[in-house]
């Protein structure tokens, strides 16, 4: 179905670790206010490039569906359990990660994402993820609504 074999777990792991930037994590930890334990580090250059590729894909899909003029952006965080040493405790009592996805509901399409440790609550700083999602929507979209937060709101033009 893919046109090629699925990479081995080891090849996938090596590929994904290329997006890791320990300096950004160290910087975010150093800037933490006293008493706080969760943080969202800035994205690395490779992650920003990957987001750009995803944005171009969203634009290409938008060109194929020019009549789709409404975009409801739904922000969703889901706990993904993990037993890695680096995994943080989640509110569910396990350890893992809690990435935030910005989904274009009408198209059933992920338009932006943000990797998060398991101890980062979904209500922590959702606006940047929503803004990144709004930025990649195609020009044909004329009405944008967020199902995630009133702070994001609705825009029409």
Q: What pLDDT, on a 0 to 100 scale, did the predictor assign at position 6?
A: 87
Which of 100, 109, 107, 106 has its CA nearest to residue 131? 100
Question: Between 127-136 and 45-64, two packed helices, what is the crossing angle to 10 degrees?
Answer: 50
Task: Please report whether residue 4 resides in a domain.
Answer: no
Task: Please report whether residue 42 resides in a domain.
Answer: yes
Task: Please report whether residue 2 resides in a domain.
Answer: no
Q: What pLDDT, on a 0 to 100 scale, did the predictor assign at position 16?
A: 86
The series of mean pLDDT values per 10 residues for the chain, 157 residues long, is 84 89 92 91 92 95 94 94 94 95 95 95 92 94 72 42
pLDDT tens per residue across span 52-88:
999 999 999 999 999 999 999 999 999 999 999 999 9
Domain of 105, in residue numbers? 9-156
- For the chain, how many structural domains are there in total? 1
**pTM, entire model:** 0.82
């Amino acid at each position: 179905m893919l046109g090629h074999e699925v990479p081995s777990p080891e090849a996938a792991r090596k590929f994904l670790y290329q997006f890791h930037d320990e300096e950004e994590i160290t910087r975010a930890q150093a800037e933490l206010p006293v008493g706080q334990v969760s943080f969202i580090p800035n994205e690395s250059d490779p992650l920003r490039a990957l987001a750009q590729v995803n944005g171009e894909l969203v634009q290409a899909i938008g060109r194929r569906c020019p009549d789709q003029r409404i975009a409801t952006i739904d922000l969703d965080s889901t706990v993904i359990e993990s037993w890695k040493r680096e995994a943080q405790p989640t509110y569910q009592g396990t350890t893992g990660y809690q990435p935030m996805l910005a989904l274009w509901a009408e198209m059933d399409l992920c338009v932006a994402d943000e990797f998060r440790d398991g101890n980062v609550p979904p209500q922590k700083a959702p606006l940047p993820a929503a803004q990144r999602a709004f930025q990649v929507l195609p020009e044909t979209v004329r009405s944008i609504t967020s199902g995630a937060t009133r702070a994001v709101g609705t825009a029409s033009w």
